[in-house]
Amino acid sequence: MPEITESRPQTDAPPVLETRHLRREVGGAVLVDDVTITVTQGEVVTIVGPSGAGKSSLLRLLNRLDEPSSGEIFLDGQDYRSIPPQALRRRAGMLMQLAYLFPGTVNDNIRFGPRQQGKDLTAAEIEDLLARVGLSNFGGRDVAKLSGGEAQRVALARTLANDPELLLLDEPTSALDESAKAEVETLLVEIMHERGLTCLWVTHDLAQAERMATRIMLMEKGKIVHTDLSKEEIHAQSVLS
Amino acid sequence: MLNQFFHDPLSLGVAQAIVATVMALVVMLIAHFARIHLEREILIALARAFVQVLAVGSVLLLIFEGPVVVGFLILGLMMLLAAQTASRRAQGMPQAFRVSLTGIVLGAGPVIVLMAWMGVIDTKLTVLIPVGSMIVANSMTTTSLALDRFRGEISSHVGHIDAALALGATPKAAVAPYTRAAVRASLIPRIDSLSSLGIVWIPGVMTGMLLAGSQPIDAALYQFVVMAMIFTVSGLASLISASLMSARVFSPAEQLVLRTGKGKR
């Protein structure tokens, strides 16, 4: 069993995200248990752990898709309950395991987020976003005709259209084949670095966690049992069995 | 044929009811052999329908000469019972009874009052109660269909709804396509009934009026009025109930709380 360590910021940068004793319990089952972590500006933190460890449940609490049973979350030092849910979710953008594109064209999907705030993206702005995810001139395409990798790229562009400061990634490549997975992963790294995005990336793929992360956290049975797992520790322990 | 054996209307009516019940039981048996087990539901429904319709007949016999307010009271009671029936189809959905009742009352109520005030529905209890009950029953069916379909749509699109919320959509915007799909689906039987009126079927009111000796044109016009009213009421009830329910499937923090299928947490 790995040693439980305390959360600590990795740099002098200010914390973008802090949780204190976060817990979620549903019907007697504890999904997230006493999670206290800090993520600082520009960090790419991967959360690894076996299936059912509560990784996705934790991520859903962070942009308030689910409500914690107890505990606190701070975004840029602000109690997230004081931020209107829609504003919070725009600031903490989320990319899910599946793309969940809305029926219609790629353009319709890219426009969706900004339109919720009454903003209409120009054709040039949409094309810039699509070009960034390697899908130039895809705007008019029907989303039903996209491959898995293309759909996930559109979902990424759709999330970026809201200009989030924190990116929550819930196994965004796990449903893709190997070549699409590598492409989306590379793309995500490039975009995170370009934009200086702070990221929390849930994965059960240790190799991916090592490639992506500036810091690796380990989650088991709802608890964060390690907030800064070294590569040696990962290899020393069969943590994802 | 039966009228050769039964000469008074009551005996004839009972004999006809027995024949109709036997036919329904034959269908139940056929279903049973096809391993579609609906025996319990069919028997209960037949027994309930028989007792209920006889009870109504007896009540109508007593109150047909009563004041108009009695008619509205009875229709109000029917709306309560209709809401209870519709909410049973919406089991597991938050405040299903309240939503069904609001949809049915706000859908059927104003139309019945308006039509009675304009003289389209006679305020004689012999007309007000049967026509009003038809309107209430149709609003009940449409409300049931709308809520049932809405639940199905939500259950199949949990991921899309979460994705929309995660992009900063309001709950109303996140479920708008599914609310619209529920309303549209609930109105399909009403639209089909309207468009096939007179071609595929000649419904109850017209049949009754023709049997009672009315002119076919008068009966046809009145039937159209009733069908148009039913569509209006159904549309209102469906829109109101689906719209009210779409707001209730979210928590105050705008989280989807109705998770009946895949994605339930």
> What is the average pLDDT across A64-72?
95
> Distance (Å) from the C-alpha of residue B19 to the closest C-alpha of chain A?
52
A-chain CB neighbours of B174 within 8 Å are: none
Segment among A150-164, B208-222, B231-245 with least mean pLDDT: B208-222
Tokens of B223: 């039937």
B168:A86 CB<8 A? yes
Check residue B129 and give its pLDDT.
Answer: 85
Q: Between chain A and chain B, how many beta carbons pairs sit less than 8 Å apart?
A: 68
Least Cα distance to A230 among A40, A10, A65 occurs for A10
A63:B166 CB<8 A? yes
End-to-end CA distance of chain B: 62
Least Cα distance to B191 among B131, B235, B243, B149 occurs for B235
B-chain CB neighbours of A167 within 8 Å are: none
Walk me through the domains of chain A, giving residue ranges and CATH numbers.
15-236 (3.40.50.300)
Interchain CB contact of B22 with A (< 8 Å)? no
% of chain A surpassing 90 pLDDT:
65
Read off the pLDDT of residues B24-50 as tens digits, 9 standing for 90 and up: 888 888 888 888 887 888 889 889 988
Check residue B181 and give its pLDDT.
Answer: 94
Interchain CB contact of B167 with A (< 8 Å)? yes
A116:B170 CB<8 A? yes
B168:A31 CB<8 A? no
Report how far Cα B198 is from the mean position of its chain's Cα atoms. 21
Residue of B nearest to A52 (CA): B265
Check residue A177 and give its pLDDT.
Answer: 85
Segment among A53-57, A170-174, A230-234 with least mean pLDDT: A230-234
A-chain CB neighbours of B173 within 8 Å are: 116
Answer yes or no: is pLDDT of A3 > 50: no
Query: Residue A177: which H helix or E strand, with range?
Result: none
Read off the pLDDT of residues A86-145 as tens digits, 9 standing for 90 and up: 999 999 999 999 999 999 999 999 999 999 999 999 999 999 999 999 899 899 999 999
Least Cα distance to A156 among B265, A138, A117 occurs for A138
Long-range contacts of B67-75 (CB under 8 A, 24+ apart): B68/B123, B68/B125, B68/B128, B70/B125, B71/B123, B71/B125, B71/B128, B71/B129, B71/B132, B72/B128, B74/B129, B75/B108, B75/B112, B75/B128, B75/B129, B75/B132, B75/B133, B75/B136
Tokens of A157: 């562009």
Mean pLDDT for chain B? 86
Segment among A36-50, A179-193, B242-256 with least mean pLDDT: A179-193
Answer yes or no: is pLDDT of B265 > 50: no
A85:B253 CB<8 A? yes
A-chain CB neighbours of B177 within 8 Å are: 102-103
Interchain CB contact of B163 with A (< 8 Å)? yes
B-chain CB neighbours of A86 within 8 Å are: 168-170, 254
Interchain CB contact of A112 with B (< 8 Å)? yes
Q: How far apart are CA B237 and CA B108, in angstroms?
A: 7
% of chain B surpassing 70 pLDDT:
95
Interchain CB contact of A64 with B (< 8 Å)? yes
Q: Which of A64, A98, A158 sits opposite B167 (nearest CB)?
A: A158
A100:B160 CB<8 A? yes
Q: Which of A26, A65, A102 sits opposite B162 (nearest CB)?
A: A65
B-chain CB neighbours of A64 within 8 Å are: 253-255
Long-range contacts of A174-177 (CB under 8 A, 24+ apart): A174/A97, A174/A203, A174/A204, A174/A205, A175/A97, A175/A98, A175/A148, A176/A148, A176/A149, A176/A152, A177/A148, A177/A149
Read off the pLDDT of residues B51-95 as tens digits, 9 standing for 90 and up: 988 887 887 777 777 788 888 888 999 999 999 999 988 888 889
Partners of A201 in the beta sheet? A46, A169
B-chain CB neighbours of A63 within 8 Å are: 166
Check residue A237 and give its pLDDT.
Answer: 59
Strand ranges (E), A52-102: 70-75, 78-79, 92-95
Least Cα distance to A22 among A82, A97, A79 occurs for A79
Which pLDDT band, with edges at 50, 70 and 90, does A238 fall under? low
DSSP state for residue B250 in the 8-state scheme: B
Check residue B262 and give its pLDDT.
Answer: 44
B168:A102 CB<8 A? no
Check residue B241 and give its pLDDT.
Answer: 95
Segment among A153-167, A178-192, B146-160 with least mean pLDDT: A178-192
B255:A66 CB<8 A? yes
Q: How far apart are CA B159 and CA B226, in angstroms?
A: 42
Residue A42 · residue A13 · CB < 8 Å: yes
Least Cα distance to A220 among A32, A9, A25, A8 occurs for A32
Check residue B52 and give its pLDDT.
Answer: 87
Which amino acid is it at B116? A
Interface of A with B in 157-176 (CB under 8 A): 158-159, 162
B-chain CB neighbours of A166 within 8 Å are: none
- Per DSSP, helices labelled H in B119-203 are 125-156, 158-166, 171-195
Residue A110 · residue A157 · CB < 8 Å: yes
Read off the pLDDT of residues A213-235 as tens digits, 9 standing for 90 and up: 889 999 999 999 988 887 777 77
Which pLDDT band, with edges at 50, 70 and 90, does A9 fall under? very low
Residue of A nearest to B259 (CA): A66
A116:B169 CB<8 A? yes
> What is the average pLDDT across A75-93?
94
Answer yes or no: is pLDDT of A8 > 50: no
% of chain B surpassing 90 pLDDT:
40
B-chain CB neighbours of A93 within 8 Å are: 166-167
> What is the average pLDDT across B180-184?
94
Residue B67 · residue B196 · CB < 8 Å: no
B167:A96 CB<8 A? no
